[in-house]
Amino acid sequence: MPGLNARQGGISNLSQKWRQWNKAAVKGLWILVILGIVASLPVAYDRIRTEGTSKNVEMVFDYRDLIQLSSYQGNPNAFIKEQLKVLKDAGIHTMAVYEATLTELSNARRITVYSEQDMARLTGKVLTANENATYLLFTDAESQQQIEPMIRKAFASQEIAVEDWSLNGRSGLKIATPVQNAVLKTMEPDPISMKQIEAGGFQLLPRLGNSSVYNEEALASLLDRFKAMGVDRILFEGEEVPGYAEEPDERHLDHFAELLNERGIGIAAIENLRGAQRGFETLAKETNYNVVRLYSLSGRDSALDPEILSDRFALAAKDRNIRMMFIHTAVQTNSVEGRITDTLENIVESLEGPEGAIQRIQNYGFEMGTASSFEVAEMAGQNYFRWISILGAVALIALLVSIFVPPLTLLSFVVGLIGAVGLYVLRPHMMEQALALFAAISAPTIAMVFAIRKIDRLHENGRNFSVGRRLTHSILLFLRTSAMALIAVPFIIALLNHVTYQLVLDQFRGVSLLHLAPIALTALYVFFYRKNSAFGSVGKIMRMPITFAMVAIALVAAVAGWYYLSRTGNSGSASGLEKTFRTLLENTVGVRPRFKEFLMGHPIFIVGVFIALKYRHAIYIMIIASIGQLSMVDTFAHIHTPLWISLVRDLLGMGLGIIVALAFVLVWQIIERCWKKWSPLLAKL
């Protein structure tokens, strides 16, 4: 027995020492967090410098749409010339041209296309079952000279026979494939249109698709012609970039990137595509990220109110680092008035004038012109700073563990550090994203736990605080908690400081978890980790009687949760009143704060503290209040948004949140006094 007692005593002493080590480690972890924050500052400075290297915004119009509109006009050529001048005067800098098709060449009046049936009617011949070809006639000598070689070349590359054909003295071609197939084949962009565009003073933005046959010589020759016409960027069409193939051995992305680099031609990334164009990320990397983000306005949206369009363009440039605005137009059929209209006038109105997109973009410090990619700024030793930040991020996560499982504090730090090093060797991107996510979850959760502890201490020490003192404590605690929650921001910046995040080729992962985990962890702490918690265990919760107050709190939480989830993610929608208020904020302060912060999270935090200092059970309101804290961190997870805008957005949200909270406190005081006055009377009924 003495030996057993000795062993038990040894285990007890070791356990006690382990608890002491873990308790002492907390201070060391906070020191590492502070060092990580300091080390992230040079990285943040580099990001700010990078964001300042691209200041030109380029307005691009879809020339194919203009050709389509002209086909509805009495004089197509005159219409195109007139609208080119109108668009130039409105601020359009560039015209997008596509790989030509027979349909587009027909709309542009270069050729007239006939099917086998059309040819039979024209010539009086009888259709046979042995032939189904496509026939075309050139509209003039210039069209034949410019267009015929590229048609022959395009169909020959796909082994489709092309031969001379004529009708009534007009020259043409006969293509040995049905018209339904022939109109799908692409060829080089229309050279006549490109010359007309260039003569109008526009830049060219070619759109290229992935041909079924990758022809190195033809592509090099085409890029040379583009470069001679001043082209410095290419936009891709379809789901794949040129040179991409399903089989890796058949891909030509390296060669295509080499052709682009030799000519100094960059590429454009379209925002919010349903799926990334296959091969684009590889091509972006091979071109040293000579990439510009592009916002595409659809033909349907081009009919929106000019103020809305102006707003979209201006915010795309300012808030999302977008430097190219690609504008479509649309044909509209008015059956009531019996006429065909378009949205060109609406687009021009959205661009012109003091409230137009051009002026607003310039007011934000941008210039209108040819867009350029970011020039990545990276000071010497940045990798060392990032590793210190990685160490601080692991320490921050270990501090979160220390709140819920104190004996695992040191172990979680060591395991986290080993895991970070291992992932860095195997999958560095995963390491960076995982640490950024867990740091983003840890900081607002720790901040909320510290706030709840402070409320409990204040409640014990001063239950009879005056209204003014309670309000002062509430606001000061809100400011302190917000500052602590924002500790995560430097780590997000340092860990995800790569141009791929600014171009949205990579993104912050785990947004849904970030929006839920701090709320769940705060609830866990409130229910089970507070000394004076009303809930000691799950069993005790299940045995508690349901009261009216519980039902009321549950309803409030459900409504708040519904609103919160409806505003989370890209699918969230805003009411008309909210949109109006957004515009007001945009026009007055230049930045829009998040509504779920200054109308929900922040006021609930301040009011929750104010009430909880008098009524202990109001502490459960703080679970909902955690929304505001995590939302501030989430703002900086949008890496494509400039840092200064994210910072102003958070600070403005905090300021407005305090103002809204003061109104809520006033309402609460009125309700509380009315209840004190009337509740005795109600009790007698």
SS3 content of the chain, % helix, strand, coil (to 5): 65, 10, 25
Q: What's the pLDDT at 556?
A: 62
Structure-model confidence comparison of residues 137 and 20, the more confident one:
137
The least confident of 206-220, 302-316, 635-649 is: 206-220
Mean residue pLDDT across the chain? 87
Instruction: Spell out the residues 6+ positions from residue 361 whose beta carbon is closer than 8 angstroms to its own.
Output: 57, 313, 314, 317, 318, 368
How far is 315 from 295, CA to CA, in rounded Å?
11
8-state DSSP, 620: G
For 583-629, the pLDDT digits (tens) are 666 666 677 788 888 888 899 999 999 988 888 888 888 999 999 99
Q: In terms of Cα–Cα distance, which of 219, 257, 232 is closest to 60?
A: 232
The vertex-484 CA angle with 482 and 488, nearest 5°, equals 105
189 within 8 A of 206, measured Cβ to Cβ: yes
Q: What's the pLDDT at 570?
A: 45
Q: Is 169 left (phi over 0), alpha (psi -120 to 50) or beta?
A: left
Q: Is the dihedral of CA 530, 532, 537, 542 positive or negative?
A: negative
444 within 8 A of 630, measured Cβ to Cβ: yes
How far is 29 from 569, CA to CA, in rounded Å?
33
208 within 8 A of 236, measured Cβ to Cβ: yes
Highest mean pLDDT: which of 369-378, 540-549, 611-620? 369-378
How far is 80 from 331, CA to CA, in rounded Å?
15
For 28-76, the pLDDT digits (tens) are 999 999 999 999 999 999 999 999 899 999 999 999 999 999 888 888 8
CA dihedral 541, 542, 547, 549 (to 10 degrees): 40
6 falls in which pLDDT band (50, 70, 90)? low
The least confident of 33-42, 128-137, 181-190, 571-580 is: 571-580
Q: What's the pLDDT at 605?
A: 94
Q: What's the pLDDT at 495?
A: 93
Average pLDDT over residues 272-288: 90
Amino acid (one-letter) located at 332: Q
- How much of the chain, in percent, has pLDDT values that exceed 90? 60
Structure-model confidence comparison of residues 548 and 528, the more confident one:
528
Structure-model confidence comparison of residues 365 and 464, the more confident one:
365
Average pLDDT over residues 89-112: 93
For 250-266, the pLDDT digits (tens) are 788 999 999 999 999 99
Average pLDDT over residues 85-106: 94
CA dihedral 366, 369, 370, 374 (to 10 degrees): -10
Q: What's the pLDDT at 548?
A: 53
For 222-234, the pLDDT digits (tens) are 999 999 999 999 9
End-to-end alpha carbon distance in the chain: 71
Q: What's the pLDDT at 123?
A: 85
Average pLDDT over residues 522-536: 76
Average pLDDT over residues 637-654: 92
Q: What's the pLDDT at 571?
A: 42
Residue 29 burial class via C-beta count within 10 angstroms: exposed 0-12, middle 13-18, buried 19 and up: buried
For 142-154, the pLDDT digits (tens) are 999 999 999 999 8
Q: What's the pLDDT at 594?
A: 83
Widest CA span in the chain: 119
Whether the pLDDT of residue 658 is over 90: the answer is: yes
Highest mean pLDDT: which of 291-300, 463-472, 558-567? 291-300
Average pLDDT over residues 509-528: 91
